[in-house]
Amino acid sequence: MQLLIVGASGHGSVVADCAEAMGVYNKIQFIDDRFPTRNKIGQWPVVGTLADIIHFTDERTQVFVAIGNNQVRLKVSKVLLEDYQLDFATLIHPSAIVSPYAKIAPGTLICAQAVINPYASVGEGCIVNTAASIDHDNTIGDYVHVSVGARLAGTVNVGNCSFICINATISNNINVGEGVTVGAGAVVINDVPDNATVVGVPAKLVNTQ
Ligand SMILES: CC(=O)SCCNC(=O)CCNC(=O)[C@H](O)C(C)(C)COP(=O)(O)OP(=O)(O)OC[C@H]1O[C@@H](n2cnc3c(N)ncnc32)[C@H](O)[C@@H]1OP(=O)(O)O
């Protein structure tokens, strides 16, 4: 099996490193619109641009979109899934702990030392970054980023495209809407409406316009 990663960035190198650690891919390469100026990332080759993707995929190739921005990852993924019907990988680092009773959708990355507890579900195209934890009965939407070291207690719901920043904490039974940003280190103890940004301890709404 081969893996074609879209997006040769720092996040892309984390994705490639995870895929390599899984030991299931005999070839890992990238495409990026900065090709040919960018023709390598670390030891992995960049072989073309997004417009050429079809030339680098066949029945033995899985694709993974390694774009950190949730909205951009969503947009690119929808084109690849709906227009090209490509096979998206689910990447889970061998040091992550994922309950057999959790559900992880395709296009999602579970990074090193992350924990996903029973009856949690993580949607399509998510990033569960290094050492983040998603506890029992969480429902995480599509194209969500749970950043490095973030902690989600039991029965938390997070809407599509939300960004839970580094080291944020979300208490039990909280509903976080769609398109929300929870700032670095915030402690969320109340529900958060769609498209809001909350920061601080306890987390409060902030105007970022
Ligand atoms: C491997 C990796 O690198 S994964 C990625 C890791 N990175 C992250 O998790 C991103 C963390 N980023 C943050 O927390 C950012 O501050 C964000 C996304 C919450 C907000 O960023 P911006 O939209 O640029 O907001 P901005 O910097 O204008 O701040 C708006 C206000 O909120 C305050 N604020 C912003 N973030 C925080 C925070 N985490 N905690 C407390 N206050 C904060 C600012 O001081 C500012 O207050 P003021 O209006 O009184 O001056």
Instruction: Return the beta strands (E) in 19-96 as ranges.
Output: 27-31, 40-41, 44-48, 61-65, 91-92
The three-class DSSP label of residue 165 is coil
ipTM associated with this complex: 0.97
Distances (CA, A) of 128 to 39, 94, 182, 184, 195: 27, 14, 15, 15, 20
The percent of residues above 90 in pLDDT, for the chain, comes to 99
Closest of 99, 76, 100, 71 to residue 88, by C-alpha: 76
Of 197, 198, 208, the residue with max ligand 1 atoms within 8 A of its CB, to mutate for a pocket test, comes to 208
Q: How confident is the model at residue 207 (pLDDT cuts 50, 70, 90)?
A: confident
Asked if residue 209 has pLDDT above 80, the reply is no
140 to each of 24, 72, 85, 124, how far by Cα in Å?
26, 18, 24, 9
Average pLDDT, integer, range 115-142: 98
Pocket test for ligand 1, best of 206, 207, 209 (most atoms within 8 A of CB): 206
Query: Other CB atoms closer than 10 Å to residue 7's CB: what's the count?
Result: 25
Cα 3 to Cα 29: distance, rounded to the nearest angstrom: 6
Dist CA 208 CA 4 (whole Å): 36
pLDDT tens readout for residues 89-123 = 999 999 999 999 999 999 999 999 999 999 999 99
CB under 6 Å to ligand 1: residues? 129, 147-148, 165-166, 181, 183-185, 197, 199-200, 206, 208
Per-residue pLDDT, 167: 98
Instruction: Mark out the alpha helices in the chain (DSSP H runs).
Output: 10-22, 70-78
Amino acid at 90: T
- Positive or negative, the Cα torsion across 24, 53, 64, 140? negative
- pLDDT reading at 162 higher than 70: yes
> Model confidence over 77-93: pLDDT tens digits?
999 999 999 999 999 99
Return the active site residues.
Answer: 136
Residues 65-76: tens digit of each pLDDT: 999 999 999 999
pTM for the structure as a whole:
0.97
CA–CA separation, 113 vs 103, rounded Å? 17
What is the arithmetic mean of pLDDT over 61-65?
98
